[in-house]
A and B are shown apart, each in its own frame.
Chain A
């Protein structure tokens, strides 16, 4: 569990967007994994199996969140008072300005494009595995992946991550 918890938390954050909720969902994911461990007979397939459980748990959470009212009604301009002084795990995680920029840009993508970036470019799943998980044709996943990367790069530029940030040009 210790080996996979960082990855699972990252996936959960990628789907739900809020760190506290992501940790709650990650707990739920591990409880589901514990309950269904007997169904994972091929250890080599553990990674995609875990990823599939994580994705389903995140989607269930998002469905429940849609169905219920917001958890808090504190005005947005007072929210900063609720934060503690020290760095949160998310702050530590997004340790560089580049990472923060990419994280924000991911938030601007459509759900399907963000999901494909999350599974392929962040978690490193193969296109075939993603196609199986999303129940989409391989060609569709491939074209969507290209489109998602272009959309993300465009979003990064729109947020100020252009050439003046010291990036190297494509050769």
Chain B
């Protein structure tokens, strides 16, 4: 019983020493946050409040702490102004577009879908080309001439009939109807023959072109071989660190190329001369 009483006394003394020894200001400052929050046990609260009554430095810190809570909360929001939202939207939009481009590139590198995507982009570039309108007008003119102005054109009488219809207007409207009927009949009856003629003509032209191509290839073969060899040697010399020798070989390649070019076109000149007057 006495032992237990001794232990209680020792614990009490140690507890009091713990709470009161060392720097009283340091101890009070440690406990100030809990005091401000109302979370301090009554013994400690009395000790700290007793210290604050006599210590102006710690009292000033306690006052500052009790007040700063609402000041800190008022710093939680900083308005960046109207331009901020627009700037963020511009950046996220730009990234979205870039991501779409990346995805499109990934698709372009895969399978049939990629092939279709490449074809689509090629057409898009072609249509967007500055001279597309001129090319389209040229093709349209050729088609109109082929359909209406040549001796074998299926609609060669159509312009005359349309002109008659316009000149006879409005009494000549039936002529327009006749022209349309005639054109339709021409298409129905003459399409098969036209297709056959076009196909045979195309085959003959293809054969001629193939033969001509073979002739030209044979004439220029030797020079093209020298061109390839010179180019290979030029690259080798360059890779071996001999730029002067590489330049000489490149010059040889240039001359071989010129010769090959002349041989190629000489074939056409010969054939032109052969069929000339």
A, B assembled together: yes
Contact B72 A150 (CB under 8 A): no
Contacts of A102 in B (CB 8 A): 68, 71-72, 75
Among residues of B, the one whose C-beta sits closest to the C-beta of A155 is B64
Complex interface bits, B53-81 against A, C-beta within 8 A gives 1, otherwise 0: 00011011111111111011111111111
Within 8 Å of chain A (Cβ to Cβ): is B32? yes
A89 and B77 form a contact (CB under 8 A)? no
A54 CB–B CB distance under 8 Å = no
- Bits for A114-128, please: 1 = Cβ < 8 Å to B, else 0: 000100011110000
Which applies to chain B's interface (DSSP): helix, strand, loop or mixed? helix
Q: A89-B79, A167-B67 known; A5 and B33 CB under 8 Å?
A: no
CB of A1 within 8 A of CB of B85, answer: yes
Complex contacts, A167 vs chain B, CB 8 Å: 63-64, 66-67
CB of A134 within 8 Å of the partner chain? no
For A2, give the chain B residue with the smallest CB separation: B85
Q: Flag if A169 contacts B77 (CB, 8 Å).
A: no
Residues of B within 8 A of A157 (CB): 57, 60-61, 64
User: How large, as a class, is the contact surface on chain B?
Assistant: 35 or more
Q: How would residues 43 to 61 of chain A score, 1 for a CB under 8 Å from any chain B CB and 0 otherwise?
A: 0000000000000000000
In the complex, what distance in Å separates the CA atom of A154 from the CA atom of B61? Answer: 5
A168 beta carbon closer than 8 Å to chain B: yes
Report whether A27 and B95 are in contact in the complex, using a CB–CB cutoff of 8 Å.
no
A13, A34, A153, A154: the one contacting B78 at CB < 8 Å is A13
Set of chain A residues within 8 Å of B30, measured between Cβ atoms? 146, 150
**Which residues from chain A contact B78 at a C-beta distance below 8 Å?**
6, 9-10, 13, 22, 89-90, 93
B84 to chain A, nearest CB (A): 6
B73 touches A163 (CB 8 A): no
Q: Does B260 contact A (CB under 8 A)?
A: no
CB distance from B63 to the nearest CB of A (A): 4
Partner of B64, one of A14, A35, A145, A153: A153
Question: Does B91 interact with chain A (Cβ within 8 Å)?
Answer: yes
B249 to chain A, nearest CB (A): 49
Q: How far is the CB of A114 from chain B (nearest CB, A)?
A: 11
Q: Which of B2-35 contact A (CB under 8 A)?
A: 29-30, 32-35
By a CB distance below 8 angstroms, the chain B residues around A7 are 76-77
Say yes or no: is A130 at the interface (Cβ < 8 Å to chain B). no
**Looking across the interface, which residue of chain B has its beta carbon closest to that of A29?**
B88
Known contacts being A30-B88, A168-B66, is A122 close to B72, with CB within 8 Å? Answer: yes
A90-B78, A102-B75 known; A150 and B65 CB under 8 Å?
A: yes
Complex Cα distance, B78 from A92, in Å, reads: 9
Shortest beta-carbon distance from A146 to chain B in Å:
4
B267 located at the interface, meaning its Cβ lies under 8 Å from any Cβ of chain A in the complex: no
* Distance between Cα atoms of A14 and B69 in the complex (Å): 16
B36 contacts the other chain (Cβ, under 8 Å)? yes
Take A122-B73, A169-B66, A170-B52 as given contacts and tell me if A150 and B32 are in contact as well, using a CB distance cutoff of 8 Å.
yes
How far apart are the CA atoms of A145 and B76 in the complex, in Å?
A: 17
CB contacts (< 8 Å) of A14 on chain B: these are 75
> How far apart are B47's CB and chain A's nearest CB, in angstroms?
14
CA distance A146 to B62 in the complex (A): 13
Q: Is there an interface contact between B60 and A163, defined as CB atoms closer than 8 Å?
A: yes
Which residues of B are at the interface with A, using a C-beta cutoff of 8 A? 29-30, 32-36, 52, 56-57, 59-69, 71-81, 84-85, 87-88, 91-92, 95
Interface contacts beyond A99-B74, A153-B65: sample of 13 additional A-B pairs, CB < 8 Å, sorted by A = A7-B77, A9-B79, A9-B80, A13-B78, A22-B78, A30-B88, A31-B95, A122-B73, A122-B75, A152-B65, A162-B63, A168-B67, A170-B63
Q: 29 A-B residue contacts at CB 8 Å?
A: A1-B85, A5-B84, A7-B76, A14-B75, A22-B78, A23-B84, A34-B92, A35-B95, A89-B78, A92-B79, A98-B71, A99-B71, A117-B72, A121-B69, A121-B72, A122-B76, A124-B73, A145-B33, A146-B33, A150-B29, A152-B68, A157-B60, A157-B61, A163-B56, A167-B66, A168-B63, A168-B67, A170-B32, A170-B63
